[in-house]
Amino acid sequence: MQEEIAREITTNLKVTLEPEQKKRLARRYEADKEAYPLYLKGRYHWNKATIPGLKKALEYFEQAIEKDPAYGLAWAGVSDCYAMLGMDRYAALPPKEAYPKAKAAARKALEIDDALAEGHTSLGYARLVDWDWAGAEEEFRRAIQLNPDFAQAHHFYGFLLASRGRSEESLAQFRQALEIDPLSLIINCDYGWAFYCARRYDEAVDQLRRTLEMDANFAQAYLWLGLVRLVQGSFRESAEAFETGARLTGGSPTMLAGLALTRASDGDRGQAERMLAEMEEKAKTGYVPMATMVQLHLALGNVDGSFEWLERAFAYRASFMMPLPVYAFFDSIRGDPRFDDLLRRQAAVP
């Protein structure tokens, strides 16, 4: 059956494939007949890029694996869910819990089929969030070599390049991703973030607004828009973006901390002071998003407190620190010798 699908695809596309390419295309669809629809449902929910969506996607991918334990695409999906759930933009799982699971699932996908572009992309992303810069780039390049038309590989590779200050290369990867999948909300949104990392703020705003024209309820775009408008000094618009994002996410600490940072930057420290007290109390007994703690200390001008949490975040490989070299978010402490030390140590992470 898988060979028939491969033949039908190549016939419709009017392309000629080598025998090994035909085998790879057929393997992509090799799955129990009940597993493949579950995988598609998982990808549908993953693309929503929300905590409920990622958790629902994880359920579907795991159900697909129950039906067919040798289904590499489903293992790649599990990896992508854990990698994103551990990121600070979602803060749904502690990084030290999420990232090892992401890496293990990606490796399982590649044990099943080392020629699976999705598996290499997932392993690249798992290595990226673990700050294995060279390893991540190697995996993304391999994925693109295997399947140049896999938008997610270009997307995640662009994310890596933006984080490390390679802005022109990053934007080129995002453009390629959008040529392949122009309606992807998360790719459109993160393209705006890449402009933010490149300090091309007007273009970032334009791209994020285009994303919201596609879906006004796509919460992630409000986080990036709030940060961009904050660095531009447009406090009212920044606050509006964070308020909308907080409403859509049911009070995400990341959104609320962004709002507190904006208001403190505009002279109102009250919300930041109250939220910091609440989060410090929570930190005594459980996990709190480290990006939130850094934001709140920065909002209040507490440089020592900021560095205390940056050190904790460093130990956890917190995702908000990946773009440490480029984020305007950190400009207020960029001249501190402790910041230079963080940059040096981060660049040297093996």
Q: Where are the domains of the chain?
A: 257-350
pLDDT of residue 111 exceeding 80, the answer is yes
Cα radius of gyration rounded to whole Å, the chain: 21
**Mean pLDDT value across the chain:** 91
Convert the pLDDT of each residue in 260-294 to its tens digit. 999 999 999 998 899 899 888 888 888 788 888 99
What is residue 10's predicted lDDT score, i.e. its pLDDT?
41
Percent of the chain with pLDDT over 90: 77
State residue 2's pLDDT score: 46
Q: Is the pTM of this model over 0.75?
A: yes
- Please check the confidence at residue 25 and state whether its pLDDT lies above 70: no
Question: Can you give the pLDDT at residue 19?
Answer: 56
The pLDDT of residue 136 is above 90: yes
> With 80 as the cut, is the pLDDT of residue 328 above it?
yes
pLDDT value at residue 20? 52
Looking at residue 23, its pLDDT comes to: 53
pLDDT of residue 81: 98
Confidence of residue 324 (pLDDT cuts 50, 70, 90): very high
Short-list 145, 147, 144, 146, CA closest to 157: 144
Phi, psi of 148 (to 5 degrees): -65, -15
Helices (H), the chain: 2-13, 19-28, 35-46, 51-67, 72-85, 95-112, 117-129, 133-146, 151-163, 167-180, 185-197, 201-214, 219-231, 235-248, 253-265, 270-283, 290-299, 303-316, 337-347
- Among 15-19, 76-80, 275-279, top mean pLDDT goes to 76-80
338/109 Cα distance (integer angstroms): 40
User: How confident is residue 153, by pLDDT bands cut at 50, 70 and 90?
Assistant: very high
Q: Is the pLDDT at 3 greater than 50, yes or no?
A: no
